[in-house]
A and B are shown apart, each in its own frame.
Chain A
Amino acid sequence: MILNGIITGLIIGGILSLPVLGVAVIYGITGIPNFAIGVIGVFGGFLTWYFLSFNMGIAVLVGVAVCFVVGYVLQRILLTPISERGGDSTLFFIITISVGFVFEGLIRAIFPRPNISLALPRIGTIDIAGVTVEGFKIIALIFAIGTLIVIRLAEEHTEVGKSWQATSQNLKLAKFLGINTNQVFSIASGIGCALACIGAIFWGALYNLQLSSGWELGFLGFIIAVVGGIGNIWGGIISALIIGMVMSFSGYLLGGMWQSVILYFIVILVLIISPKGILGSERSL
């Protein structure tokens, strides 16, 4: 049972790390807390579900691409201009929450069902020390870790990645040097929303997606990111895996109804002890 709990925890943590990564990328680079990313991601999840019977690859691509474009455009026409006029966290909270409600409304208006489960093909099972795990779940975990590694490598070794780091560390100097910081912001926002969408697709395949799922994924993403040290990618992942374990074991040991009590109690405890999160952060919310 312990092994089972660990594996479930890893998988929950791995999937959660995708929206967390989305939050970390967006907040780390633009400095704007976007609370809508979970709902936008779930919107993409519904789109994927809608096209799933057509072709799985195309369906996933449509969902992820639409989320990227939504994130990109949202940043370009709304968030960057507000930021340039000196918008503060409270204003961004209200605006991005409103954007979230717009997308929740769109899900309700466009899609025939408010509660879906994505039937992605189940690719066999794997035995790990006597515990049987669906191969599909392992893929979700590997994908999450792979995405993290790709983002870290890109940040360290590509020109675009270096411009990102520069923009996040010193916006003014980055502008003086000729880095197109507005474009960096827009792409970061697009990638963040696309990551949230991939997280939502996995979530929808393992559990289900409903109207409220976006808020759950988005807020959980934020909380986990803050616990890890917001904007700090490694902290976010470690935090996601810990939270995954907490959710898994509190579910096993005490039953599902205690899960959120334990989870948020631990979150509050961590933030009292270490307000900047487990690994700390340059920025604070």
Chain B
Amino acid sequence: MSALKGIDFYAYDNEIVGIVGPNGAGKTTLLESIAGSMHIREGQINFLGHQIERWSVLKRRQLGLMLVPQDGNVFPMMSVKKNLEVSVVLSSHSEKASLINYVYELFPVLRERRKQTVNTLSGGQQKMLAVGIGIASNASVMLIDEPSIGLAPKLVTKLFETLRKIKEDTQKTIVLSEQNIKVLDIADRLFGLEAGEIRFDEKKENLGRDVVRDLYLGSGS
């Protein structure tokens, strides 16, 4: 795992934040540290007025943080429907059905295949389910680790459009780490991460594609 140094990261309500950077920049480490599956040695994490860096994953989740990891982001031997049913575990009884319905509206193919075992779905469909699980969890901040990886370009565009729609529908915060340049189309703000340090923190309007592209290639090359 990459080490992070002097990271100053933040996100607001109703915002899509992109964390961009090359492999090994520390994107996953940053997301896991926020979600609580990794612990930071120094520094603070504040969320909704609580200082949470010593909290367990479960406690952070109850406060509203949810990470959709890059791998292992579905329950492979369960049906699509059951995957979503376990994702709404923290929601009240009345919310559950509408959350699952919302996921089906966003990804109709999941409704069609709701009875299918997840490991029989295509890679793209599994990725949609992974995002669907994040949405169904109804967390106020959804952290998604590289949702576009392994997806065909068309599907990436579609997925990003859906994320945009989710933000507009729910006013939630979405933080996604990405290596795909298309993230520029949906993010409100971007953090450039390289070798564990933040290179830039800019609103999308202030960033050119070349800046982002340079970062992916790495400053040394």
Which residues of chain B come closer than 8 Å to A172, judged between CB atoms?
A: 37, 69, 72
Q: Which residue of A lies closest to B61 (CB)?
A: A178
| Bound form: Cα–Cα A172–B90 in Å | 16
Contact between B77 and A282, CB atoms less than 8 A apart: yes
Give the most central of A172, A178, A180: most B CB within 10 Å.
A178
B69 and A176 within 8 A (CB): yes
Q: Does A132 contact B (CB under 8 A)?
A: no
User: Are A176 and B86 within 8 A (Cβ)?
Assistant: no
Cβ < 8 Å to B, chain A residues 136-190:
159, 162-163, 165-166, 169-170, 172-181
* Mask: chain A, 259-285; 1 = CB below 8 Å from B; 0 = not: 000000000000000000000001000
Picked from B66, B72, B76, B78, the residue with its CB within 8 Å of the CB of A177 is B66
Are A169 and B77 in touch, CB under 8 angstroms?
A: yes
B67 interfacial contact with A, CB 8 Å: yes
**DSSP class of A's interface residues: helix, strand, loop or mixed?**
helix
Q: Which residues of B contact A165 (CB under 8 A)?
A: 75, 77-78, 82, 86
Known: A165-B82, A166-B78. A177 touches B62 (CB 8 A): no
Residues of A within 8 Å of B67, CB to CB, are: 176
Q: How far, in whole Å, are A180 and B57 apart by their CA atoms in the complex?
A: 10
Question: CB distance B57 to A176 under 8 Å?
Answer: yes
> Which residue of B has the minimal Cβ distance to A179?
B89
Chain B residues lying within 8 Å of A178, measured Cβ to Cβ, are 58, 61-62, 66, 89-90, 137
Contact flags A92-132 to B (C-beta < 8 A → 1, else 0): 00000000000000000000000000000000000000000
Q: How many residues of B contact A (CB 8 A)?
A: 25
CA distance A177 to B57 in the complex (A): 9
Chain A proximity of B145: nearest CB distance (Å): 11
Q: How far does the alpha carbon of A25 sit from the alpha carbon of B73 in the complex, in Å? A: 24
Nearest A-chain residue to B76, judged by Cβ: A169
Highest count of chain B CB atoms <10 Å: which of A166, A170, A175, A176: A176
What 1/0 flags go to B43-74 for Cβ under 8 Å of A?
00000000000000110011000111100111
Which residues of the partner chain B approach A181 to less than 8 Å between Cβ atoms?
A: 58
A173-B72 in contact given A166-B78, A166-B86, A178-B137 (Cβ < 8 Å): yes
In angstroms, Cα B32 to Cα A172, docked, is 11
CA distance A173 to B71 in the complex (A): 10
Q: What CA separation (Å) do A194 and B78 show in the bound complex?
A: 27
Q: Are A175 and B57 in contact (CB under 8 A)?
A: yes
Question: Which residues of A are found within 8 Å of B73, using beta-carbon distances?
Answer: 173
Bound Cα distance from A176 to B56, whole angstroms: 10
- Among A163, A165, A169, A173, the most chain B Cβ lie within 10 Å of the Cβ of A173
Q: Is the CB of B77 within 8 A of A177?
A: no
Tell me which residues across on chain A come within 8 A of B61, comparing CB atoms: 175-178
Kindly state the separation between the CA atoms of A166 and B118 in the bound complex, as whole angstroms: 13
Instruction: Identify 15 new A-B residue pairs, CB closer than 8 A, beyond the known A163-B86, A179-B89.
Output: A162-B85, A165-B78, A165-B82, A169-B76, A169-B78, A172-B37, A174-B86, A175-B57, A175-B61, A176-B69, A177-B133, A177-B137, A178-B58, A178-B62, A282-B77
25 pairs, A vs B, C-beta closer than 8 Å: A159-B85, A162-B82, A162-B86, A163-B86, A165-B75, A165-B86, A166-B75, A169-B75, A169-B76, A172-B69, A172-B72, A173-B133, A174-B86, A176-B35, A176-B37, A176-B66, A176-B68, A177-B61, A177-B137, A178-B58, A178-B90, A179-B86, A179-B89, A180-B58, A282-B77
